[in-house]
Amino acid sequence: MAKTKSVYVCQNCGVDSPKWIGKCPSCGEWNTYVEEVVSKDNTPKVVMGGLEITKQKPILITEVETSEESRFDTSCNELNRVLGGGLVPGSLVLIGGEPGIGKSTLVLQVVLNMKGKRTLYVSGEESVKQLKLRAERLKFENPDCYIVSETSLEQIFVHVQNIQPDVLIVDSIQTISTEMIESSPGSVSQVRECAAHLLKFSKTTSIPVLLIGHINKEGSIAGPKVLEHIVDTVLQFEGDQHYMYRILRSIKNRFGSTSELGIFEMQQSGLREVSNPSELLLSQNHEGLSGVAIASAIEGVRPFLIETQALVSSAAYGTPQRSSTGFDLRRLNMLLAVLEKRAGFKIAQKDVFLNIAGGIKVNDPAIDLAVISAILSSNVDIAIEKHVCVAGEVGLSGEIRPINRIEQRILEAEKLGFKKMIIPEYNLKSLNLNKLNIELIQVKKVEEAFRVLFKR
């Protein structure tokens, strides 16, 4: 007979305890322990989804036969780019994001556009009528798309056996539960076991599975951390609800790069792919406005131009404020120290506010020169010329350090009509200047860049 006992499990990190604890000793969170019933049964368990367990034996790595498997085209170029070229057969992809950011809309839109592929969309949060209304709003049709509202993992595998889909979507993993565990849906044990069975299913049948996951108040995927470890790809869907842009960022990818970026624009009829983000991230006209500098950045393999905005004003209080949106605040403090020490500009007693236009976050160090140029432009109240673009990393000694993939940045600036571009001197040696129609200005230190930008 099965022995039944209960343990207390932290809903934040998954650590269990035989008794209730107020503060988790592992993650330090308060009041996260919830009682869960654990059943130990010595009888053999039923194999999920009717899958047979095959015994494996170790073989030499040189004897393993490999073949180049073709990826599934998701019919969404931005999603294909982030995934590394498409959806790999047998892969398990997790898409996370804040509530209302558009995760379900993105996945349903992709599913409806996958012509010729039989898909099964399992929703544990919405009814089939709600999914139908959303599909009508998106104005897409796919005769091979099946939808079902189900929260039982066992029933989901029954539907899979009956339909035999090419792609399976589960929305969301926190709403799915299995009868093998006596705990509520969304608990650590339920999420862990359901994800493990879905992983086994995808690897055995070579059917790709897309999981939609919730996030907690800290911004990470809700549930146990093992959920992010067992999946093949983790995609983060970001964006401010006050902005119309949505960013799909790869956090983990076993089949591609983790530095890729996909940009979408939220509209009434769904998500529109932004093929040229530079035009959207630049304001229509900033001529005559101080505190604005155009930087050439790269995320993944995609170059784009972004608008860096800065405001420097006299400190209203005793302690000057330092605020940054879309840029690392610690790096901003470092650049301000470089301006103070190496360039001789006294801004220690002034408030400095920095903003990356469009609501995106940029980690490329090549926008350092644009950041300090925008700050100095606002400080002296002199506007930077409209057709000037900058790119360069700033060192602690005030030098302009070389950056990678400079030719792609220059071609992007040239394509958008910029006449001049300030680049590090060491990057000019490897360039072929004959085919470029943009004036390149080489600088070694920040003082040289300031003389070019502020000739007055």
Could you list the residues known to form a binding site, using ranges: 97-104
The tokens of 151 are what? 């929260």
DSSP string, 14-63: --EESS--SB-TTT--BS-EEEEEEEE--SPPPPGGGPPPPP-----GGG
Q: What is the identity of the amino acid at 299? A: E
Give bridge partners of residue 241 from the DSSP assignment: none
The tokens of 363 are what? 């980690």
The tokens of 124 are what? 């544990």
Which residues sit in the known binding site for ATP? 97-104
Rounded Cα distance between 144 and 122, Å, is 14
The tokens of 159 are what? 């539907």
Q: What is the identity of the amino acid at 222? A: A
Residues sharing a CB contact under 8 Å with residue 356, sequence separation 6 or more, in sequence order: 306, 307, 308, 309, 325, 326, 327, 362
Residues 153, 197: contact at Cβ < 8 Å?
yes
Cα–Cα nearest to 389, from 406, 397, 379? 406
Task: Classify 208 in phi/psi space as left (phi over 0), alpha (psi -120 to 50) or beta.
Answer: beta
Rounded Cα distance between 324 and 242, Å, is 18
CA 348 remoteness from chain centre: 35
Angle between helices 188-205 and 153-163 (to 10 degrees): 20
The tokens of 118 are what? 């039989």
> Any idea of the CA torsion for 410, 413, 414, 416, to the nearest 10 degrees?
160
